[in-house]
A and B are shown apart, each in its own frame.
Chain A
Amino acid sequence: MPEAVAYQLKNIRHYYENTCALNVDELQIAKGSITGLIGPNGSGKTTLLKLLAFAMPPSCGDIFYNGKKEGCFSPVVRSKITLLTQKPYLLKRSVFENIAYGLKIRKDCRNLDSRIRTALAYVGLDHAQFAQRKWHQLSGGEAQRVAMAARLILKPEVLLLDEPVASVDTQSARLIRTASLNARDQWGTTLVIASHDLQWLYSISDSQLSISNGNIFATGIENIIPGPFEETREKTVIKKLEDGQILTLKKPENKKNTAMIKKDCLRIKEDNGSDNQLSGQIISMLAGEKSSHVLTHICVQELSFTLKLVPDQICRMNLYPGKNIVLQFDSTDVEWI
C-alpha cells in the first residue's frame, strides 16, 4: 500500500526581493514521518518550514496538504499545523496563559488546567513551579520548552520545529526529542525538524533532507563546494584550497557556480584510482538509529565532506575521529547546482 502523503510541493520558488531562497521542483513528505532538515545558515530551511506552516505564500508554485491545494489562513490547515520558531516568542503573560492561548482561540477550554499540566510534563516542567511564572521569569531553555508545550497541547497533525535544541541543554534536548516522538506515536503527528545538531537530528528522524542554496536533496546530507572555480584548458575547473591542495571537477555546462558531490561517490583512499585525492581529518562519526551506516564528517581545510561508511569498513581501516585520511573522488562525480 502506498504511503499516505501529508505534503506535496510542486514547482515551489520563493524569493526575497530578487534572491531565490527556495527552489523545489517536487517534494513529498509522508504522513506520520519525522523528517530532518539539514543545511548551513541561510540555506532555506526556515523558509521551507514557514511555507509548510502556510505562514506565508510561496512566490510561485503549489503546496498540497492531504492532497488539497492550500493557502495561508486556510481554516483547514490553520488549526492543524503549528511551527515552533528558532527564537520562540512568548506572549507577555504567564506560562499558563501562553500554553492555553492556542486552545482558547480554538474555543476549546475543557479541563484546561489538567491539559496544561500534561503539556508541561511533556517538556519536563513542573506545573506548580512554572504555570504562574511570567514570560520574563524564564531562562532561554525554559522559554523554548514552554513554547514547545504550547504546541504539543494542540495535538497538531503537523509539528514543524526550527532549531528546537539550539539553545537548550542536553537534558532539555532529550525531553524535546521524547516529546516529539510521543507526538508522532500518540497522535500520528508528522514532524519536520531543522537542526544543526546532526547527532540529535539523526537520533530522531526517519529520513533527512539536505538544503543548500535553496535546493533540496532528498538523499540527506550532501557535499557542497561553493565557488569560485578557475577554468582550465581541459574542460575542467579547479579550486585551490588554503594549503595548496587542488580539487579538479568536470566543467559545468552552464554558468552554475556551486558543485555538489554525493556522499556515495566519496571514498577513503585504499588505491590510487581517482583524480581527486585530498588530505583531511575525520571530525565526527554519527551512527543513525534506523540505519546501518555511519555518517563520517571529514574536514579538508575550509571544506567539510560527509560520506557513508559501513561498520566493517570502519573496523578494517581503523577509522576514528581525529585520524588523518585521504579522501578520493572522481572529477566526473560532480553535479552543478
Chain B
Amino acid sequence: MDFIATGFIKAIELLISGDAATWSAILATLKVSTCSMAFSLGAGLPCGFLIGYFDFKGKKQLRTLLDTLLSLPTVFIGLVVYAFITHRGPLGEFGFLFTLTGIAIGQTILAFPVVTAITAATIEGMDKELKLTLITLGAGKRNILMTCLWEVRYGILAAGVMAYGRVMTEVGISMMVGGNIKYNTRTITTAIALETNKGQFADGIALGLVLMLIAFIVNLSVSFLRKQ
C-alpha cells in the first residue's frame, strides 16, 4: 500500500515543481476539451432547441437515434474518426491524424449528442405558456430562441457539464486519433493509462488529481452560475 501514499506525495511534488511532461498533458487536455466543447455547444444547442421546440415527422425516431448516440463507445468514435482522417481516408489531406485537432474532432462527435439530447429534453419539458407569452409580448423568432434557452439555462448547464465530463474522461479517441505523443498529443487520460502501465503511479496520481481538480472547478462554477 506504500506505493499509493508515495504516489500522492510525488504527485504533489510533480505539480508544484512544474514537471514539463505533466503540464504538457494538462494543457493538451484543456485545449482539446475547450475546443470540442465550444463546437459541440455551438452546434448542439440550436439543434437541441429545434428538435425540442418543433413537432415534425420523424421526431421520435431522431430522438431515439440521439439517445442511442449518448452511449456511443469512445473507441468506436476513435475508429471512425481515424478512418476518415488517416492518410488514405477522405479527409487525409488535411493531416489531422495524431494532432490535437483530430482529438478535438472526435471529442466534438462524442459531446454533440449529449448536448443536443439533453437540450432537446429540457426544451420539451419547458412550460408551454412560455412560447405563448413570448409571442404575445412581441418576440421575434430569434428572441424566442434566445429567451427559451435562457429560461432553461439550468438544464443546459447540466447538458454542458455532462458533455464536459465525457470529454474530459475519455481515453479511446485521444489514444487512437492522437497517438499519445509526449509533449504533443498526450492528454491527461492517455498519460494516466500509460504511466500506470509503466508502474509510474506518482505521475498517474498527479494527473488524476488534476482531473479531479478540473471537475471540482467546473462544478463550482456551475453552482456559482446557478446562484446568479
Q: When A92-B151, A105-B143 are in contact, do A87 and B138 touch as well, CB less than 8 Å? A: no
Q: Which of B42-50, B125-133, B166-174, B187-195 interfaces with chain A?
A: B125-133
The 8 Å CB contact of A88, one of B133, B140, B147, B151, is B133
In the bound complex, residues from chain A placing their C-beta under 8 Å from that of B139 are 105
The answer on a CB contact under 8 Å between B130 and A73 is no
Q: Are B140 and A78 in contact (CB under 8 A)?
A: yes
A50 at the interface (CB under 8 A from B): yes
From A50, A92, A150, A160, give the contact of B137 (CB < 8 A). A150
Among residues of B, the one whose C-beta sits closest to the C-beta of A102 is B137
Residue B17 at the A interface, CB < 8 A? no
List of B residues within 8 angstroms of A106 by Cβ: 138
Given A50-B132, A89-B127, A82:B138 Cβ within 8 A: yes
Contact B129–A73 (Cβ < 8 Å) = no
Cβ of B158 to closest chain A Cβ, rounded Å: 15
Cross-interface CB contact of A102 among B129, B132, B138, B141, cutoff 8 Å = B138
Which residues of chain A come closer than 8 Å to B151, judged between CB atoms?
91-92
Residue B80 at the chain A interface, CB threshold 8 Å: no
Considering only residues 79-105 of chain A, those with a C-beta below 8 Å from chain B are 79, 81-85, 87-89, 91-92, 101-102, 105
Cα A287 to Cα B133 with chains together (Å): 34
Taking a contact as CB atoms under 8 Å apart, the answer to whether A73 and B138 are in contact is no
Tell me if A211 counts as interface (CB < 8 A to partner B): no
Query: Is the CB of A247 closer than 8 A to any CB of chain B?
Result: no
Q: How many residues of B contact A (CB 8 A)?
A: 17
Contact A79 B127 (CB under 8 A): no
B136 touches which of A82, A87, A91, A92 (Cβ 8 Å) = A82
Q: Does A154 contact B (CB under 8 A)?
A: yes
The answer to whether the Cβ of A168 comes within 8 Å of any Cβ in the partner chain is no
Given A91-B151, A105-B143, answer yes or no on A85-B138 (Cβ-Cβ < 8 Å). no
Is B135's CB within 8 Å of the partner chain A?
yes
Per-residue A-contact encoding for B153-194, CB less than 8 Å = 1, 0 else = 100000000000000000000000000000000000000000
User: Which of the residues B130, B137, B140, B147 comes within 8 Å of A82, measured between beta carbons?
Assistant: B137
Interface centre among B130, B132, B136, B143 (most CB of A within 10 A): B136
Contact (Cβ within 8 A) B136 A105: no
Query: Are B137 and A105 within 8 A (Cβ)?
Result: yes
A78 CB contacts on chain B under 8 angstroms: 135, 138, 140
- Which chain A residues border B132 with CB–CB below 8 Å? 50, 55, 83, 85, 89
Q: Is A53 an interface position by the 8 A CB rule?
A: yes
CB distance from B143 to the nearest CB of A (A): 5
List CB contacts (< 8 Å) of B105-136 with chain A. Answer: 127, 129-130, 132-133, 135-136
CB atoms of B129 and A88 under 8 A apart:
yes
Given A55-B135, A91-B151: A105 touches B129 (CB 8 Å cut-off): no
Instruction: State in angstroms the CA–CA spacing of A78 and B136 once bound together.
Output: 7
| Contact status B129-A87, CB under 8 Å | yes
Is B129's CB under 8 angstroms from A53's CB? no
Q: Which of B133, B138, B153 contacts A79 (CB 8 A)?
A: B138
Q: Which of B127, B140, B147 contacts A73 (CB 8 A)?
A: B140
Do A154 and B138 form a contact, CB below 8 Å, given A91-B147, A92-B151, A105-B143? yes
Contact present for B137 and A85 (CB under 8 Å) = no
* Shortest beta-carbon distance from A23 to chain B in Å: 22
Cβ contacts under 8 Å, B130 to chain A:
89, 91
How many Å from the CB of B146 to the closest CB on chain A? Answer: 10
**With A and B bound together, what is the CA distance between A102 and B127 in angstroms?**
19
| 5 CB < 8 A contacts A-B | A53-B136, A55-B132, A78-B135, A81-B136, A92-B153
Apart from A89-B133, A101-B137, A151-B137, what 17 extra A-B contacts exist at CB < 8 Å?
A50-B132, A53-B135, A53-B136, A73-B135, A78-B135, A82-B137, A82-B138, A85-B133, A85-B136, A88-B129, A92-B150, A92-B151, A102-B138, A105-B139, A105-B140, A106-B138, A150-B137
A-B pairs, top 10 by smallest CB distance, nearest first, are: A89-B129, A83-B136, A89-B133, A102-B137, A79-B138, A55-B135, A78-B138, A105-B143, A89-B130, A82-B136
Q: Which of B's residues lie within 8 Å of A, judged by CB?
A: 127, 129-130, 132-133, 135-141, 143, 147, 150-151, 153
